[in-house]
Amino acid sequence: MSDEIFKQEKIKLTPHNGFDLVGIDYFSDPGNQLYFIEHFEMYQDALNAKKNRKNPEEYFILYRDGAGQFLSR
């Protein structure tokens, strides 16, 4: 997946409020490899959900900071 396509896909799935847990489908076409799993109001809840997955490294937590910039962990 090219870095720019991946970045745009993450921005598209980043919520305005709260935290979204998203997964990666490596077999999908570029631009459609990320998919929404669940929305959380608290970061700790999203982090716990990520840690409870079989392969936590295949998931991201997407959110916006106070300035509205997207971030992922």
Q: Which residues contact 67 (CB under 8 A, 6 or more apart)?
A: none
What is the value of pTM for the model shown? Answer: 0.88
Residue 1: pLDDT band by 50, 70, 90 thresholds? Answer: very low
| CA 39 – CA 19 distance, rounded (Å) | 6
- Cα atoms in the Cβ-side hemisphere of radius 13 Å centred on 55: 5
Q: Structurally, how many domains does the chain consist of?
A: 1
Range of the domain at 56: 3-72
List, for residues 3-55, the tens digit of each pLDDT value.
888 889 999 999 999 999 999 998 998 889 999 999 999 999 999 999 999 99
